[in-house]
Chains A and B, each alone.
Chain A
Amino acid sequence: MNGPLWLSLEIASIATLLTTLLALPLASLVSHRRLFVLDALLTTPLVLPPTVLGYFLLVVMGNHTVIGRAWQAVFGSSLVFTTTGIVFAAVITSLPLVLQATRAAIEGVDVTLVNAARTLGANRFKTYTRITLPLASRGMCAGIVLGFARALGDFGVTMMVGGNLPGETRTASLAIYDAFIADRATEALHLSLMLAGFSIVLVSVATLLGRRPHAHA
């Protein structure tokens, strides 16, 4: 019964790792160079219905399309009916949360501290890794946790392009849907409580991290 839950956690973990790795360079890119179009493009999935993304994955990047074939040639796996596709969708939908949090956190770092490090002889890279990132880490982590929660809960894309394959694309949210319709009430309740529990914990962590560390009540 917990197979789908583990699969959801696996998908969310891989997606979050990729999202975090992408968010770091992208945050600097979209904030420093004022690439507002790129910024907007990467943020749009936050408000895009999952069905739109599902449609694109199925019709534009499907197995028989040029993009779909190119993807298969490069990554050796198709996007439709595979965990890879669900991870890909999760990366796209959770990236805005991580990206925006990372960007805000980096922009919120006191410039005088960065300048001080530079005048004391630290190079750009050292300043970034030793001053900027540690100071921005709380805000970034809050975004990462929210991104993970978002990736954990996708239903629409997974339903449209997943094929409901046990162990591959049958995630917890799909299993809940199937259990509910097939009148397996206990299973639906069990999985729903687990997912709700995870979400509450994750959002609590994000809220806690999002508070200013030295703020007093």
Chain B
Amino acid sequence: MRVLVLVVALLTGCRSEKPVEPLRVGAASDLTVAFNALAKQYTASTGRQVELTFGSTGLLAKQLSQGAPFDVFAAADVATVEGLAAKGTCVASTQRVFAKGRLVVWTAPGITAPGSLAELADERFKHIALANTEHAPYGRAAKAALEAAGVMGNIKSRLVSGDSVSHALQLVRSGNAEAGLIARSLVTELHDGQLLLVDDSLHPPLNQAAIACGTDENRLTAAKQFLEVLRTSGALLAKYGFESADPPQ
């Protein structure tokens, strides 16, 4: 009898409350602050935890195409997401452009912000940090903006590159670079530097796109819920310096 009770207890114990697996979200570095807030909202409304992984858009996409188990991928450019959808790594029908990021010049503590990109040529900016110009969208945008502003030739030797836009920001905040071309979304809550908003006609738009990935039905449903929360979070995204995305062409 006692054995029976034990067996029943064990069986019911096993059946009850299988913990809900967390949703895995891989997101571009510029979404770090906003997505931490967004994940809290998602968890509050669905009860599911979110595991966030941040990195450069290019790095995350490469990891996804090599089988990284992200349920949601959010990139700082549209082309990368379209590429993953075309390859079948992610679910094309879930693809959505949800916001537009802005590029800013952010200065190290104690350094006065430049009045224009051209002023980056001033000698107080010994090192200027930016994200990787090959595989990070903000790095590419920064390069394009500096070239369009005609200042690239003067400051090329002073550019130092971080792996992602977060890494670039860290190089500035630690005082090793006097200024950096950073995502506005990463500095809205910081007070240790000064900001110059870069004219966004100088670089390709930093539209942010998200997509659900994977094949498991349950996880896919959860991923779509996350995308839905993202779609309705315009106010939260605006708070962190994002703007409405450009209309599709």
Contacts and interface: CB of A to CB of B under 8 A. Distances in A.
A181 B59 contact: yes
B225 to A, nearest CB: 30
Contacts of B159: 165
Contact of A81 (B58, B62, B175, B176): B176
Interface string B41-70: 000000000000000101100100000000
User: Range of interface residues on chain B?
Assistant: 20 to 34
A156 to B, nearest CB: 11
B163 A81 contact: no
B160 A182 contact: no
Interface string A73-110: 00000001100000000000000000000000000000
A206 interface: no
B174 A58 contact: yes
B127 A81 contact: yes
A192 to B, nearest CB: 15
A20 to B, nearest CB: 30
A181 B161 contact: no
A178 interface: yes
Nearest to B61: A181
Interface in A168-201: 178, 180-183
User: Range of interface residues on chain A?
Assistant: 10 to 19
Interface string B121-142: 0000011010010110000000
A141 B243 CA distance: 61
Contact of B160 (A62, A65, A81, A183): A81
A64 B126 CA distance: 12
A128 to B, nearest CB: 43
B62 A181 contact: yes
Contacts of A180: 62
Given A80-B176, A182-B134, A182-B135, A164 B62 contact: no
B171 A163 contact: yes
Contacts of A64: 108, 174-176
A178 B164 CA distance: 12
Nearest to A57: B176
Interface string B156-185: 000111110000001100111000000000
Interface in B164-217: 170-171, 174-176
A164 B58 CA distance: 16
Contacts of A182: 58, 134-135
A8 interface: no
Contacts of A58: 170-171, 174, 176
A63 interface: yes
Contacts of A62: 174-176
A59 interface: yes
B92 to A, nearest CB: 20
A165 B134 CA distance: 13
B134 A178 contact: yes
B160 A163 contact: yes
6 contacts: A64-B175, A163-B160, A164-B132, A165-B161, A181-B59, A181-B135
Interface of A: 58-59, 62-65, 80-81, 159, 161, 163-165, 178, 180-183
